[in-house]
Structure 1
Amino acid sequence: MICKIADKIINVMAEIMGLIGSILILYCMTFGVTDVFLRYALNSASQWIGASIQAAMVLIACMGGAYALKHGSFIKLDLFYEKFSARKKAICDIITSTLTFAFLGVLIWKGVDAALMSIKFNQTTPTSIPIPIYPVKTAIPLAACVVLLIVTQQFMRDVKTVVKGSKKQ
C-alpha cells in the first residue's frame, strides 16, 4: 500500500516537473525571440532577458531530465539491449544504475553545498540588473533528489524482475 502511494507521488512529481519544463521552454522561446527583436529591429538590447533565459535553461535540464527518465525518453544504444529478455535487461539496468546512484549522490552532495553558499551570499548575476541565482542553484539538488527517487523506483522494479522473473514495465 505504501509503495503504491510512493509510486503515485513520484509519478505526480515527474509529471509536474515535465509541465514546468514545458512552460520554461515556452518562456525561452518567447523571450529569446523578443530579445532578438529588441536588439535588431529596435536597436534596444535587453539587460535581463539573456540571464533569465540561461537560468531557465538550467531549470529545463533539471525538470525535463526527471520527466524524460520517468517516461524512458532518453536515447539508448539498443543494438544489443533490445534483443535481451526482460530479466537480462533488468540485470543490465541494475549494473548501470550503480553509476547513476553514484552520480546523483555527488550531484546532490555538491549541489546542496553550492546552493547553501549561494543563499548565504545572496548570489546574483553580475549584470546591471542583478537576478538572484540561488533559486536555480537550489533547484538543482532538489531535482536530483526527484531523479534519485525515480531511479530507485526503477531499480526496485528491476530487482523484482530479476528475483521473480516477472515482466518489466
Structure 2
Amino acid sequence: MPALMVAWRWFERSIDFIAEVMGVIGWLLLLYCMVLGVTDVFLRYVMNAASMWISTTIQAAMVLLACVGGIYALKHDTFVRLDVFYAALSRRTQAVLDLATSGLTLLFLGALIWKGWDAAMLSVKLDQHTPTAIAIPIYPIKIFIPVTAAIVLLLVIKQLGNDVLVITGKRHADTQR
C-alpha cells in the first residue's frame, strides 16, 4: 500500500476518533442540560428559590451541544436533507455532486473559522463575562466555535478525499463515506 494511502487512512481514523469523542461530549452536555433544566424548574416552582446560574450555563451548554452535535451528525451522515433526487443516484454521481458543491461548504467554514477566531480573541482580550448576577466567562465558548468549525473542515476534507477516491475508482462506491 502506498505511503499516501497509509497516511490517508491514519487521517481518516484520527478524524473519526475526534468525531466520536465529540459525540460523547455532546451526550454529556445533553445530560447536563436535562438534569440542570429539571433542577432549575424544581428550584423555581417547588422551592420558590430560583437559581442565578443554571439557565445561563444551560444556554452555554446548548451552544456547545450544537457545535459537537454537528460534528457527530456529519461524521455519521445524519443531517436532514432533501434526498428526492440525490438518494436515487449512484455513489459515484453523488461524489461528483459533492465535489461540485464543496466550494460553498469550504467558503462557509473558512469564514466561520476566520471570523469566529477574531471574535474569540476579542472576547479574550475584553475578558467577556455574562452580564448576570454570577459572571460566567464567555470566551471559552467563543473559542470553542472556531475550533469545532476546524474539526468540521477536517471532516469535510475527509469526505472530499473519499469522494475523489470513489470517482477515480480507488475506493468502491459501496464503501461507507
Q: TM-score range by the shorter chain?
A: over 0.9
User: In structure 2, what is the equivalent of residue 19 of structure 1?
Assistant: 24
1:92-147 per-residue CA deviation (whole Å, 9 max, x = no partner) reads 11122211111100000001001101111111000010001111000000000000
Selected match of 1:39 from 23, 36, 44: 44
User: In structure 2, what is the equivalent of residue 144 of structure 1?
Assistant: 149
Aligned equivalents of 2:15, 2:87: Cα separation in 1: 27
Shift of 1:76: 1.7
Aligned equivalents of 1:3, 1:160: Cα separation in 2: 11
Task: Could you list the structure 1 runs, at least 4 aligned residues long, displaced by more than 6 angstroms after superposition.
Answer: none
Shift of 1:161: 1.4
- Correspondence 1:157 to 2:157: no
Shift of 1:90: 0.6
Selected match of 1:61 from 48, 54, 66: 66
Identity of counterpart residues, as a percentage? 53
Shift of 1:85: 1.0
User: In structure 2, what is the equivalent of residue 6 of structure 1?
Assistant: 11
> How many residues of Structure 1 are paired with residues of Structure 2 in the alignment?
169
Structure 2 runs not aligned, ≥5 long: 1-5
Match of 2:88, SS? coil
Aligned equivalents of 1:78, 1:144: Cα separation in 2: 25
Scaled by the length of structure 2, the TM-score of the pair is: 0.92
Q: Which amino acid aligns with 1:83?
A: A
Aligned equivalents of 2:91, 2:17: Cα separation in 1: 26
Q: Which amino acid aligns with 1:73?
A: T
Aligned equivalents of 1:122, 1:2: Cα separation in 2: 40
Match of 1:82, SS? helix
Q: Which amino acid aligns with 1:27?
A: Y
- Correspondence 1:95 to 2:100: yes
- Correspondence 1:76 to 2:78: no
What's the RMSD between the two structures over aligned residues? 1.1
Aligned equivalents of 2:24, 2:146: Cα separation in 1: 19
Scaled by the length of structure 1, the TM-score of the pair is: 0.97
